[in-house]
Structure 1
Amino acid sequence: MTAAQARTLAAVRAELARLVRHDDASLVHDVWLRQRYDGGFAGSYASARAEAVVTAWHEAGHAVAALAVGARFSSASIRAGGRSSGRVHTITGGGADAFVIAAGGQVAEGLRGWTLPSSDTEVRAWLAAWRGEGGDAQRFRAGLAGTRFAGEEIAAWRRGVEVLTPLRPRIRELARALLVWPRHLPYAVVVEIVGPRPAVVRAPAG
């Protein structure tokens, strides 16, 4: 970790400690509010605040999923722009579990309010409606090719939920860090915020 990254980490931790009793919406930095409202990504400050929270959980889900399956990335951010409300930049690795990273954003959004589909019927309907969304849906499906989950979208989705549900506290902590910090968070800082790489039980082969 560089000296600049260490300063960023210390500042983020100090803000999180200061605002520990506040809910997620109260943590949204003014930079993210103004950027969404002034850029026309939200029609009001209230909607900008709500959108920032959803985005923070979404991107935190991608980042924590990447760490869980051994992938790397350069940084994470909730800056809105173009077709994206945020991004985990330059993800590499993940191997046969890379589809978990692609699903991580949507899984994290569901974990935030405990609203994930549960029965196979609900999961099937949700997956059928999951298209576009910044390419995550395409990456999820493409990532199943050549794995034991090829052609098994429901099983693959449940695998993502299985990996990330125990990591909800880490996703929440990173989401809150993304909300309080007005710039991107480098990989090294994210690793320190999330904690040691979680021990993920590998799906059995074939």
Structure 2
Amino acid sequence: MGDFNIIRSDAERVGGRPRARLAMDEFNECINSCGLDDWNLEGKQLSWCNGQQGLARSWAKLDRLLVNNSFSLKFGSAVARWIQHDDFLKMVEESWTVDMLGESGLNILAGKLKRLKATLQVWNKEVFGRVDGKIRELEKRIEVLEDGLQNGFLEKVEAELLYDKAELERWVQREDIRLAQQAKEKWLFEGE
């Protein structure tokens, strides 16, 4: 999963100059020879923009998730969503940009994926493993702030309240995602 910096066909771009056919052919050949599928992504498909204005602006689908046949068979109805957590992309980038010393070609890719998997497992436990506690903490803070506002209006207290309510909403969404994923995994496991 990530930014592959190449499109598979001209249908995956809008605007700009045509891409080199040879580069697209090589990318498609690599995907096919490795027996990978380009998994469906939910949300915006054109994930990169060159930042230009007007007719000079171009968009392309550079982000994708490649999976093998075993994954496709096991999770055939799953849909990939790009994670909304503020720190997710930074964490992935930090893991991905560390060089793989002494490796080359697909060994680099395999090594980076293995390292990223371990990083994601630790990150998931640290960030999402404490969701219930964070939600309870925010609910208590909100209750205290609301009580404070009922006793007298202070702009600073209202600002804290609004911030904490938005933060609570983010944590509740994370918990909803986690619970939905757990339910899907349980359903898939029981269906085997």
TM-score interval for Structure 1 and Structure 2 normalised by the shorter chain = under 0.3
What TM-score, normalized to structure 1?
A: 0.23
Larger relative contact order (C-alpha < 8 A, sep ≥ 6)?
A: 1
What TM-score, normalized to structure 2?
A: 0.24
Q: Larger C-alpha radius of gyration, 1 or 2?
A: 2
